[in-house]
A and B are shown apart, each in its own frame.
Chain A
C-alpha cells in the first residue's frame, strides 16, 4: 500500500484516541483518575446515535454525544470530588454502568440486543477527511496544550493536580477546577465515541472495545503531556493500521499480527516510559 493511504488510515484510526486522551489528560492533570474514558466514549457514541436517529441530523448527534459524555463526566466528578469516592472504583462503576445502561435502552427503544438502526453521519468522502470530527480530533491536542500551558485555568489545573492544598491556600477553588476538568474530559472522550458511532452509522454494543483504555495508556506513555500523549495516540494507531494492512500478507500467522498493537502498548508502557511522573495528587482528595 502506498504511504499516503497508510498515513490517512492511521489518522482516522487515531481520532477517537486523540479525543479521549486529550480529555483524559486534562482530568488527570487536575488530579482525577481517568479510567472512565471508556465509559465516556461509549455514552457519547450512544447518545450521538439517538440524537442523529431522532433528528436526522449528525450535527444534533454530535451535540447529543457531547452531552452524554458530559453527563457521565459530571457523575464521575460528583463521586470523586463531592463524595470523595476512590477514583478507580468510581471509574469501574461508571464503565460498567454505561455498558449496562446502553444495552437496556437499546432493547427498550429498538428491540435489539446488539445494535441500533442506521443513523445519519457526516459525508466523510473517500479519504475520510470530509468528516469534521476528524479535524476536531486532530485539533483537540493543540487545544488542550493551549488550555493547559497558556491559560490561567491551565496553571490552576496543574496546581490542583500536583498540590491541591497549595492551590486552595491561594484562594483557588480546587473542587471547581476539578469539576470543570472532568467535564472537559467527558465531553472530549464523548466526542471520540461520537466519531465511532457516526462513522459506522450505528451504535453497536460495547463498540468502543477498549479504546478508552488505550487512550489512558497513551496519556501515561505521553507522561501527561498533551503533545507526547498525542504522539502516543498516533503511534498506537499506526500499529493498528499496520496490523490491518498485514492481514493480507501471507506467511505470517494472523494471530501474531493481531498482537502487534497490544504488544506495542505493553512494551511502550513497561519499557520506554521509565520513570513516568504522574501528577502528585492524582486520585487524592483535597485535604
Chain B
C-alpha cells in the first residue's frame, strides 16, 4: 500500500475558531480519477491546499508515493510532481499563455529569459496533450475554458504526475466540460493520478473510479463509484436524507424537471424589456438588442456561458448600469432612466450574482444587512430604530432559515449558503412584483440550493415575474417556464421549457447555432 500516490491521515487544520479539517483522510490509488465530494465548507479545499503545500496541517500526516512529506512547501510539492489546478485561476492576466506556463521555471539564455524557447516548449506541450490554447496570447484575452487549459498545462510543464483539480467545471459550458473529461481520461491513461474536487454528483458518477466524501471537516465515506448511487453519495454528504432538488434529480436520471411547471402564467407582462443595448465598463457593447417579456407567475431562465452579457443585462434592469438604448418597464411604467431606488419602489427585487460585491456588506451585522436599502422604513426621528431592526431580523432569520439563527454577527461569519439566504431574505422578504435572480445558488451547499429553489417556486406560484440567470444549465431547466440562451449579447434562442434540453441548448451556448425567437 505504500505505493499509493497520495495518503493523508488524521489531518487537523483550524483557522482561528473554525476547524476546517478534523481528522480528514484521503487515500488515492495509482492511475485513478478520484472524486473528493462534499458540501461547501466541508473542508475539501483546505485538505487540497495542505496536499499542495499552500498551508501546513496542525496535525496528521501526508504521504506521497510512500514517503512522508507532511508540512511541505509548494515548491516541494511541485518538485514531487503534485500539481494543483485552483478553482480561482492562478494566472497572471497581463502575461501571455507561454509566460504563465513557464513562470517560476523559466528557460534562460544567459541572464535573459528565453522567450522563444518558452513559446516552443509550450507549443510542444499543447500538441502533445491536446490542450489547445494560443500560446502567444495574453491570458486576459482568453475564454474561461482556455484559461483552465492553461492551468492544466502549467502543472504538466512542471512534470506533474498527480493532478488536483478544484471544482474545474464550475465555470465551463457543457462542450468544454466534455473536452475536459476527454483530456483527463487521456492523462489518466498516460499514467497520471487525478483528484477531482466537485459537488456535482453527475460528474462524480461519470468520470471517477473512487469517491471520498467529506462532511464538516472529516472524511465520512470512501466508496467505489461502480458500487454506489447518487442518492447514497448525497446522503453521506449531507448526513441526512435529502429531498433532492431538480438539478440533482436530473443528474440522477429522474423525470424531466419541467413537469412541475403545471401552472400556466396569466395576464399582461409585468417586466418588459425592449431592444435593450448595454455597454460594459470598457464601453464594449455586451447586451445587443435583447427583447423579452415576463408575465406574472412566469420564470424566464437565461442560460449561457458566463460573460455573454448576462451580468450586464441584469445590472441594467436593476439600475446599476446605464442603458444605451431600448427600454425597460415594470407593470407598464417606464423605468429605463429611473434610479435604483425608484426601481425598487416600482417592485423590482434583485438577488445579485456576486453577494460579496453587491449583495451584502460583509462587515455589517446580519440584522443591518437585512434592512439595507430600507433604512428609511426602520428609522425614527432620523435615526435607526434598533428594536425594530432586531425584531425584523429575528422574523426573517426564522422565515428564511438562516443558520446560526442569530442577528448580531457580521455577515462575513456566515457560510456561503447562509449569506445567500440573507440576501434572499432581504430581497424576497418585502413586497415585490419582479425578481431578478442572478446565479442564486452559486457556491452554496445542497441544502441551501434546495431551500432557495423552493423560495423561487413559491414566488412564481404567488404570481411574481422572475428573471433567472444561471450558469448551471440544470438549474435553469429545473425552474424556468421559458428558456433563453444568451450568446454574445443576444438571445440566440428562446424556447418553452418543455422543448429545452441540454442537447438542444448546447450548440446555441457556444455560438454553433443561432435562431432569433423573441
Contact = CB atoms under 8 A, between A and B. Distances in A.
Contacts of A101: none
19 contacts: A151-B113, A152-B113, A155-B99, A156-B103, A156-B104, A163-B90, A163-B93, A165-B90, A167-B92, A168-B54, A168-B74, A169-B84, A170-B104, A170-B105, A170-B154, A170-B158, A171-B104, A172-B103, A172-B104
Contacts of A163: 90-93
A165 B86 CA distance: 11
A225 to B, nearest CB: 11
Interface of B: 52, 54, 73-75, 78, 84, 86, 89-95, 99-100, 103-106, 108, 111-113, 154, 158
A155 B73 CA distance: 22
Given A168-B74, A170-B78, A155 B154 contact: no
B103 A167 contact: yes
B75 A171 contact: yes
B112 A151 contact: yes
A165 to B, nearest CB: 6
A152 to B, nearest CB: 4
Contacts of B54: 168-169
A139 interface: no
A280 B139 CA distance: 14
A171 B78 contact: yes
Contacts of A198: none
Contact of B86 (A154, A158, A169, A172): A169
B396 to A, nearest CB: 33
A interface, over-half SS: helix
A246 interface: no
A163 B88 CA distance: 11
A171 B74 contact: yes
Contacts of A167: 92, 103-104
Interface in A129-179: 150-152, 154-156, 158-159, 162-163, 165-172
Contacts of B158: 170
Contacts of B111: 151
A285 to B, nearest CB: 16
Contacts of A154: 113
Contacts of B112: 150-151
A277 to B, nearest CB: 8
Task: Report which residue of A158, A165, A169 has the largest number of chain B beta carbons within 10 angstroms of its beta carbon.
Answer: A169
Interface of A: 150-152, 154-156, 158-159, 162-163, 165-172, 280
A151 B107 CA distance: 10
B121 to A, nearest CB: 14
A159 B86 contact: no
Nearest to A147: B111
Nearest to B114: A152
Nearest to A171: B75
Nearest to A173: B75
B165 to A, nearest CB: 14
Contact of B91 (A150, A152, A158, A166): A166
A154 B108 CA distance: 12
Given A163-B93, A170-B103, 9 more contacts: A151-B112, A155-B95, A156-B104, A158-B94, A158-B95, A163-B92, A169-B52, A170-B104, A171-B75
Nearest to A149: B113
B28 to A, nearest CB: 21
A150 B52 CA distance: 30
Contacts of B84: 169
Contact of A280 (B93, B100, B103, B105): B93
A155 B93 contact: no
A150 B112 CA distance: 6
B148 to A, nearest CB: 14
10 shortest A-B CB distances, which residue pairs? Answer: A170-B104, A171-B75, A166-B90, A152-B106, A169-B90, A162-B92, A163-B92, A152-B113, A159-B92, A172-B104
B258 to A, nearest CB: 42
A165 B84 CA distance: 13
A279 B108 CA distance: 25
B116 to A, nearest CB: 12
Given A155-B103, A156-B104, A170-B74, A150 B90 contact: no
